[in-house]
Chain A
Amino acid sequence: MRELSLHILDALENSIEAGATRIELFIEEDLKKDILKIAIKDNGRGMSEGFARRVLDPFVTTRTTRHVGLGLPLFAAAAQRCNGDLQVQSEPGVGTTVTATFQRSHIDRAPLGDMATTLMAVMLSKRPVDIYYKHSVNGRTFELDTAEMRNELDPIPLSHPRVRQWLESMLAEGLASLQRHAP
């Protein structure tokens, strides 16, 4: 995939498929240490130790619609190409955490890309899921929590056209303020 935000969206969709009702997504860019770290933590049904070990094998999947699971192996390959790695920690009934690290300046590192649309795709999900997002670039932080938003909006859904437009501009503004400080 051309952008890390597409790998992230794919991992977020895995969490939703696993029945997660809350996902925490952390992106940390440290230019001094030259590290880009992405962590996705969900409260989905989790995986057994054996399955979590095998999940980076492209021929392992839980889906019944086909027999090849490509999402995580592709994400792992992207990290490994950039002197990084991808770890999966999981506990049945508790949830799964996927952590990917990249050498930020590595020539093969794909750009983070359109995080705003990735987040929109999750916020507009038909399946009930909340997302907490925290993105920091050299200590400057942008964060949001859809659970808080839903509380304020109740009973208006996030997918309401007017709320959606507000979300879009809020994301654009928040993410742009981070990027102004990253070369």
Chain B
Amino acid sequence: MPRLKTIEDLKKLREEAQRDIKVRVETGTTITVGMGTCGIAAGARETMHAILKELKKREIEAHVTTVGCIGMCVKEPLVDIEQAGKPRITYGNVMPDMVPRLIEEHLINGRVVQEWAVGRLPTKE
């Protein structure tokens, strides 16, 4: 891609994003995917890909980030969903085909998918 076009694109994106970033950082949703060796070997990259695809399809504006190994390798791919004002939920063994239901239940309907959840952290103060 030509460098100039890239810079122009980025400038435009920056302006657009700046208008609403404050709201999103404070109230948004963050989805975190474990991307250590264990996660990668278990298919975490494909899980992340499925999450990006599903968010795009449903036009949900959530942050997606990756982290390293947290030591629960047997439960990889691990996916963590954090929403302002709600407990942070960790889901285990999340395969790409589980992602549409996860997004629908947790993000759209606001219900934790109990049978896939492996951890819960209380709401951040």
Binding site for B on A (CB under 8 A): 1, 6, 9-10, 13, 16-17, 63, 65-66, 69-71, 114, 117-118, 120-122, 124-127, 142, 144, 149, 152-157, 159-166, 168, 170, 173-174
Q: Which single member of A63, A117, A157, A163 contacts B49 (CB below 8 Å)? A: A117
Contact B37 A70 (CB under 8 A): yes
Given contacts A114-B49, A125-B35, A152-B10, 17 further A-B contacts (CB under 8 A): A6-B41, A9-B45, A13-B68, A65-B70, A121-B35, A121-B66, A124-B64, A124-B66, A142-B1, A152-B11, A153-B10, A160-B13, A160-B63, A162-B13, A164-B64, A166-B9, A166-B13
Give, as a whole number of angstroms, the nearest-CB distance from A156 to chain B: 4
Give, as a whole number of angstroms, the nearest-CB distance from A23 to chain B: 14
Bound complex: CA of A163 vs CA of B21, how far in Å?
Answer: 12
Interface pick from B54-62, B83-91, B98-106, B113-121: B54-62
Known contacts A13-B36, A163-B13; is-contact A65 B52 (Cβ 8 Å)? no
Contact B65 A159 (CB under 8 A): yes
Binding site for A on B (CB under 8 A): 1, 6-7, 9-11, 13-14, 16-18, 21, 24, 32-33, 35-37, 40-41, 45-46, 48-49, 52, 55-56, 61-71, 73
Give, as a whole number of angstroms, the nearest-CB distance from A85 to chain B: 21
Q: Is the interface of A mostly helix, strand, loop or mixed?
A: helix
Known contacts A125-B67, A161-B62; is-contact A120 B13 (Cβ 8 Å)? no
- Residues of chain B contacted by A127 (CB below 8 angstroms): 67-68
The 9 closest A-B pairs by CB, nearest first: A65-B71, A152-B10, A161-B61, A156-B17, A126-B65, A71-B37, A117-B49, A159-B63, A153-B14
Contact B10 A149 (CB under 8 A): yes
Give, as a whole number of angstroms, the nearest-CB distance from A76 to chain B: 14
- Residues of chain B contacted by A70 (CB below 8 angstroms): 37, 41
Q: Which single member of A69, A156, A164, A174 contacts B21 (CB below 8 Å)? A: A156
- Residues of chain A contacted by B45 (CB below 8 angstroms): 6, 9, 114, 117-118, 121
Bound complex: CA of A16 vs CA of B65, how far in Å?
Answer: 14
Bound complex: CA of A142 vs CA of B21, how far in Å?
Answer: 30
Contact A63 B69 (CB under 8 A): yes
Bound complex: CA of A118 vs CA of B52, how far in Å?
Answer: 13
Contact B14 A152 (CB under 8 A): yes
For residue A157, which residue of chain B has the nearest CB?
B63
Bound complex: CA of A149 vs CA of B10, how far in Å?
Answer: 7
Known contacts A160-B17, A173-B1; is-contact A165 B67 (Cβ 8 Å)? no
- Residues of chain A contacted by B9 (CB below 8 angstroms): 166, 170
Bound complex: CA of A66 vs CA of B36, how far in Å?
Answer: 12
Bound complex: CA of A127 vs CA of B6, how far in Å?
Answer: 24
Bound complex: CA of A73 vs CA of B46, how far in Å?
Answer: 22
Known contacts A13-B36, A65-B73; is-contact A124 B10 (Cβ 8 Å)? no
Bound complex: CA of A43 vs CA of B71, how far in Å?
Answer: 25
